[in-house]
Amino acid sequence: MRKKLLTLLAVAVVAGGMSQKAFATNGDDMIGVSPVSRAMGGIGVGMPICATDALYRNPAWMSKSKNFEVSFGSTLFLPDVKASATTPLGTVEATSKADTFVIPEFSITQRLNEKVVVGLGAFGVSGMGTDYRNADSTGMLMNMNTNFSFMRMMPAVSYKISDNLSMGAALHLTWGSLDMGDGYSQDFGIGGNIGLAYETDMLSLGFSYMSPVSMTYKRVYDSNGDGVYEDMKLEQPQEVAAGVGVKPIDGLKVGFDVRWINWADADGYKQFGWNNQIVYALGAEYKATEALTLRAGFNYAKSPLDDVSAASNDAPTITVPDLAAPFNEYFIGVMNALGFPVITETHITIGAGYKVSEHFTINVAYVHAFEGDFKVEDTSNAYPTYEAKNAQNSISMGLHWNF
């Protein structure tokens, strides 16, 4: 029974991940993977919340896992993305047709002995894209159609150093897909993360580091119009995170995480003008009854994109690896506005868990990201002023078994 369950869940996650097209919310990263974390603002570094987010956020917290645990779930992602182009003759506005996506998550953990827990997770963790094909008759929105998806599969291990202190590490085997409007290109990569966790009856502390992952998408874009499609490097950035959790009263847990995402030094993102982000995540969980747990949270990170005010006739000096043609700041801004408007900042989250039986729990979450705005102005007045707006809603559901 256990073997059949794991096989079915793994196939479902891989199939879902291969078709993923989505926006995410901290840059192009999901604020959290499981419905437990997403309901609590995306926390999971400084406080143990579930095995799935332990694997992703801080593998040291796998030390809290029971004998054997399996989690499977998905997020229905509903972005509302708009773009406009304004000239002296008027404004053209359209809504992206890329508006409904499913993002999977799956994890298992197995306790080997009192000190060692091993685990495996597979998650869709990053994504972005728009679809403005046939959106306007003027061509000012360029029939833009983009898609980026990124998935991590992570074998992991945790070790309990003492009653209060644990450490953990995970290997990240990654798959990515990029489409710049001329067809998909895929690549595989490798990275990892490490974590430390400390816990007492009232207080918990956590620290984690996630390495960068370098990816090269072959023959993905013809930047100079010569008919030859060039490769493009896009490196998922390193992250450093720390968090704290407290139990102020019986049945209540509150956690706060801070994450630093190094977009500004990651190949591809750096050339597209992305800034580093500091993510603040706050979450709470209250055990209302023996069966029902209530959750809520808040997540904020300033958009990695600043508004652009530059001349379209400036010399092209920005070279995106490994594209052949250079770009100037205005046209980089237009690509971000029409193709990759990762501009949401503030999120509120709620959710719940219901323990159906001793071995089975259902978790749900809802996340709302308030509308963000990004503008690109041509100071030479030769090309339009572009503006992008992005708001998001998502619903997550997860099934959790422990044996």
**Best CA proximity match to 195, nearest among 48, 66, 72:** 48
> In the chain, where are the structural domains located?
2-402
Pairing type for strands 68-87 and 90-95 reads: antiparallel
Confidence label for 4 from pLDDT (cuts 50, 70 and 90): very low
Distance CA 28, CA 341 (A): 9
Count of Cβ atoms closer than 10 Å to residue 329 Cβ? 18
Task: Give pLDDT, residue 363.
Answer: 98
Reported as a single tens digit per residue, the pLDDT across 107-130 is 999 999 999 999 999 999 998 899
- The pLDDT score that the predictor gives to residue 225 is 92
Six-digit token string for 368: 């709302």
Residue 17 scores a pLDDT above 50: no
Confidence of residue 25 (pLDDT cuts 50, 70, 90): confident
Beta-ladder partners of 252: 286
CATH 2.40.160.60 fits 2-402, yes or no: yes
Whether the pLDDT of residue 3 is over 60: the answer is no
173-200 residue pLDDT tens:
999 999 999 889 999 999 999 999 999 9
Task: For residue 39, give the nearest of 397, 378, 350 by alpha carbon.
Answer: 350
